[in-house]
Structures are given as structure tokens and as C-alpha cells.
């Protein structure tokens, strides 16, 4: 392993890409600790020491910002506006025919969709920044904290904060695109990976301090098992065989080759878990906005706090159902059996034993629905692991393995290693992992 890493740094252009990526990561992590203008950094640290945060959706966003949200830094919004914008643009392909046409136009169409994603990212960043500033001004961001986060909350300071936070989102988006163009791997994915991984040491340390070394060792063991499971499933696929008939083009015979259509067990990736987590985090966030001046809550808010939290059976049931639903929904819009069948027929391809055309599309749909069911159950299982840990080992929110975080980290790690392998093998070297 160490010799393989040494070969990476002995290859000049690959070494430059790796060092460039590490430099961008360093800039990104530095921005996490630079407070937004108008924020009292000392008071923020005092409130963080109390440990009472809003939770809900903003605790979820804090995970993707690497802790920048609750630091109220210039990178407080993190990469979430870009993730949300990308998902929205992708879903709009189903609703807006023009978006689907752009998707099929190739590089030029993809460039336009990317531009739309950037504009939507700025708009969402502006909206989320306004909400965050409102929470910070009102004191709702840190429940029970008496230290003022924004001492001067006049209009000029508020506008300056909103502009700075939105600019921070734009800068993160630009840094991610730089990594994609000049570094290693997908830039946005790398930044998400770094954000999530940065919280692991603190989470593990908190578990060791509060629960003891026995629970700490148990969490490590569970983590290794989960990692093995996730890597195995993420690499698993159903290969549908495809045969191409021989054709005469001029005096040459082409075709006659055998290949396959790889259908991954988890085609939806982490998107269903993000959707389900975001939707279930919204009620908890709404509760914070409806707290009375004396600190009490209305009856409906008390019911939400009791039944729609991570430890209640109702919450877990809804979480599983939403994950199953969004898995099928996302796969249905990203893999079109009719389109795949038409492309195969156009180039003389067929599945052995299945007639071309409509029967091929029906067969692909049959295979896809059953593979997706296994993938949906897998996602629901992994998503429930941290919730079960709340109850069984008392790890509370410090439990780092499971759900969105581990799925993203494993997926990004595997994809980055594949890209490094491909570049090393182009130079007649062995891959990074043998």
C-alpha cells in the first residue's frame, strides 16, 4: 500500500493533481473556522460548549458543512445548496421536457444544465443564509444560550452577513469545480467527504469520554462490519448479458461481440437517505420556530418532539418507508428501460432469449424492480444503524457510523481510488490497490 502511494508521488502530473487537491482541502477547512462578519466568535464557542443546538434540519446541514454551520463561519452553508440544486435540476428533467432535451444534447447541453445548477445554488444559498442569520439573531440557533451571537443586528450588519454567507457558498462551489478540473476525483464529492470525515475524531473521542472504552471498542467493531457491508454492496451489480449481431459495413464485418449491462444493487446512491432525512428533519425545525417566549411549546409541537424523533418507533417506520419510496422514485428517473432497449435495437444488440424492442424493455424493468428492492432494503438498514445505536449503546448523536455519512464516504473513497488507478495504469504502473 505504501509503495503504491509512493508511486503516485513519483508520477509528476499525478503528484501535482494530488497536491492541488490537498491544497484546496486545506483552504476549505481553514474557511470553516473564519467567522462571518458581525458574529461574536467567543460567544459562539461559549454556546457550543453548552451543547444545546437547534437540531433537526440544521444539525443535518452541519454534518455536510464540516461543523461550519454551528461555527457560523463564512462557509456555514457548506455544500448543501449545491447538492440540493443538483438534485432539483435532475428531478426537473422529468417535469420540464427542455431539461431532458439538454441532457441528451451531450457536452453543450450538460454545460447549460450546469449553469442552471449554479444559478439555483446561489438562490438557495441566499435563502438558507437569510434563515441562518434570523436564527442567530433570535438566539434560536443555540437553545438556552444567553450569549448574543450577533451583537450588532442592524440592517447593514445583517445584509453583510447574508452576502458573506452566500459568497462563501459560491466560493465552495468554485473550489469543488477546480478540484474536478485540475485535481483528483469529483470536487464536490471530495469536499463532502472531507466535511463528514472531519467530525469523526471528535465523535469517537466523545464516545470514549462519555461511554467508556468498552463502548468505544464496540463502536469500532460495528464500524468495521458496516464498512465491509457497504463496500461489498456498493461494488455488487447484476450483469445483464447483451449480444451484438454481426453487420457488414462496406467490406468489413463489425459486431458479433458480447457485453453486458451493469445494474448496480444500489443505483440510487445516497440520494434516498438524504431526501428521507431532510423531510423528517423539517418537523423538528418547525418546532423551534414555534417555541413560546416562556420556553414552552404548543400541544402539536410536543407531539412532534415525542413521536418524530430518532428514538421513536413511528420515526423509524416513516424513515424506512420514505427511504424505500425515494429509492424506487430516483431509480425510475435515472434508468429508463425503454431508452436502453431502443439504443440496443438501434445498434443490433439483444439479450439472449429475449426479443428486441418491447420485450427487452419489460425484461429490464423486471430485473430493475427486483434489484432495486434489495438496494432499498440495504439503504434502509444502513440508515437505521445510527438510530438503533441511540437506544442500544447510548452513543447518542456522537455515533459516526451509518446512514448518510458512511454511504457518502465509502462511495467517494471507492470512486477516487478508481480514478487514481485509471491514471496510474495509463502510465504502465500497477494500480493503487492490487
Supply the mean pLDDT for the chain. Answer: 80
CA distance 323 to 329: 10
Which DSSP string do the residues of 324-360 spell out, in sequence order? HHHHHHHHHHH--HHHHHHHHHHTTEE-TTS-TTHHH
Instruction: Based on the fold, state whether residues 73 and 130 are members of the same structural domain.
Output: yes
Contact yes or no for 321/273 (Cβ under 8 A): no
Asked whether residue 412 is assigned to any structural domain, the reply reads no
Query: Is residue 153 classed as helix, strand or coil in its secondary structure?
Result: coil
Asked whether residue 432 is assigned to any structural domain, the reply reads no
- Read off the CATH number of the domain in which 334 is found: 1.10.3370.10
- Residue reference for cell 428531478: 91
Range 4-21 average pLDDT: 80
Which segment, 91-105, 171-185, 275-289, is predicted with the most confidence on average? Answer: 171-185
Instruction: Based on the fold, state whether residues 170 and 213 are members of the same structural domain.
Output: no
**Per the structure block, which three cell numbers stand in for 168?**
462563501
Residue 157 vs residue 253, higher pLDDT: 157
Instruction: Based on the fold, state whether residues 154 and 5 are members of the same structural domain.
Output: yes
- Categorize the per-residue pLDDT at 103 as very low, low, confident or very high, splitting at 50, 70 and 90: confident
247-249 and 349-350: which strand pairing? unpaired
- Categorize the per-residue pLDDT at 122 as very low, low, confident or very high, splitting at 50, 70 and 90: very high
- Categorize the per-residue pLDDT at 290 as very low, low, confident or very high, splitting at 50, 70 and 90: low
pTM above 0.95, yes or no: no
Domain boundary residue among 198, 223, 256?
198
Percent of the chain with pLDDT over 90: 9
pLDDT reported for residue 393: 63
Number of Cβ within 10 Å of residue 239's Cβ equals 10
Q: Would the pLDDT of 396 be above 60? A: no
Q: Would the pLDDT of 250 be above 90? A: no
Using alpha carbons only, give the angle 6, 12, 17 rounded to the nearest 5 degrees: 90
Range of the domain at 192: 1-198
Which DSSP string do the residues of 232-294 spell out, in sequence order? HHHH-EEEEEEEE--EEETTEEE---EEEEEEETTTTTTHHHHHHHHHHHHHHHHHHHT--TT
CA–chain centroid gap for 284, Å, is: 21
Q: Would the pLDDT of 23 be above 90? A: yes
Query: Is residue 73 classed as helix, strand or coil in its secondary structure?
Result: strand
Instruction: Based on the fold, state whether residues 133 and 214 are members of the same structural domain.
Output: no
Range 350-370 average pLDDT: 88
Contact yes or no for 89/99 (Cβ under 8 A): yes
Contact yes or no for 206/400 (Cβ under 8 A): no
Asked whether residue 226 is assigned to any structural domain, the reply reads yes
185 Rama sector, left if φ>0, alpha if ψ -120 to 50, beta otherwise:
left
pLDDT reported for residue 27: 92
Amino acid at each position: 500500500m505504501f509503495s503504491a502511494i509512493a508511486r503516485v508521488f513519483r508520477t509528476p502530473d499525478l503528484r501535482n493533481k494530488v497536491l492541488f487537491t490537498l491544497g484546496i482541502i486545506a483552504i476549505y477547512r481553514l474557511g470553516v473556522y473564519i467567522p462571518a462578519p458581525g458574529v461574536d466568535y467567543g460567544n459562539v464557542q461559549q454556546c457550543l460548549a453548552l451543547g444545546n443546538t437547534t437540531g433537526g434540519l440544521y444539525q443535518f446541514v452541519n454534518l455536510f458543512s464540516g461543523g461550519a454551520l454551528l461555527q457560523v463561519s463564512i462557509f456555514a452553508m457548506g455544500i448543501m445548496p449545491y447538492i440540493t440544486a443538483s438534485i432539483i435540476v435532475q428531478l426537473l428533467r422529468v417535469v420540464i421536457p427542455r431539461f431532458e432535451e439538454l441532457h441528451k444534447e451531450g457536452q453543450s447541453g450538460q454545460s447549460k444544465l450546469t449553469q442552471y445548477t449554479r444559478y439555483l445554488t446561489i438562490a438557495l444559498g441566499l435563502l438558507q443564509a437569510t434563515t441562518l442569520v434570523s436564527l442567530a439573531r433570535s438566539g434560536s440557533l443555540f437553545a438556552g444560550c444567553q450569549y448574543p451571537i450577533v451583537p450588532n443586528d442592524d440592517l447593514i450588519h445583517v445584509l453583510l452577513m447574508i452576502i458573506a454567507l452566500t459568497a462563501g457558498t459560491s466560493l465552495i462551489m468554485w473550489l469543488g469545480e477546480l478540484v474536478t478540473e485540475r485535481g483528483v476525483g469529483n470536487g464536490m464529492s471530495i469536499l463532502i467527504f472531507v466535511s463528514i470525515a472531519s467530525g469523526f475524531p471528535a465523535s469517537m473521542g466523545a464516545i470514549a469520554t462519555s461511554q467508556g472504552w468498552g463502548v468505544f471498542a464496540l463502536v469500532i467493531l460495528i464500524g468495521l462490519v458496516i464498512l465491509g457491508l457497504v463496500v461489498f454492496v456498493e461494488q455488487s451489480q447484476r450483469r445483464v448479458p447483451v449480444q451484438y449481431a454481426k453487420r457488414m459495413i462496406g467490406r468489413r464485418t463489425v459486431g458479433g461481440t458480447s457485453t453486458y449491462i451493469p445494474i448496480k444493487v444500489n443505483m440510487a446512491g445516497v440520494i434516498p437517505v438524504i431526501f428521507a432525512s431532510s423531510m423528517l428533519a423539517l418537523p423538528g425545525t418547525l418546532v423551534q420556530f414555534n417555541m413560546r417566549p416562556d420556553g414552552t411549546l404548543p400541544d402539536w409541537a410536543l407531539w412532534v418532539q415525542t413521536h418524530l424523533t430518532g428514538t421513536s418507533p413511528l420515526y423509524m417506520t416513516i424513515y424506512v418507508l420514505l427511504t424505500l419510496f425515494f429509492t424506487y422514485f430516483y431509480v425510475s428517473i435515472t434508468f429508463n428501460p425503454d431508452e436502453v432497449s431502443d439504443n440496443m435495437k438501434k445498434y443490433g444488440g439483444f439479450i439472449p432469449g429475449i426479443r428486441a424492442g418491447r420485450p427487452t424493455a419489460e425484461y429490464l424493468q423486471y430485473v430493475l424492480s427486483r434489484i432495486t428492492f434489495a438496494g432499498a432494503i440495504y439503504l434502509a438498514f444502513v440508515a437505521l444503524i445510527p438510530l438503533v445505536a441511540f437506544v442500544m449503546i447510548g452513543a447518542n448523536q456522537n455515533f459516526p457510523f451509518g446512514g448518510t455519512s458512511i454511504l457518502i464516504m465509502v462511495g467517494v473513497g471507492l470512486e477516487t481510488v478508481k480514478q487514481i488507478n485509471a491514471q496510474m495504469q495509463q502510465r504502465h504502473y500497477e494500480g493503487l490497490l492490487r
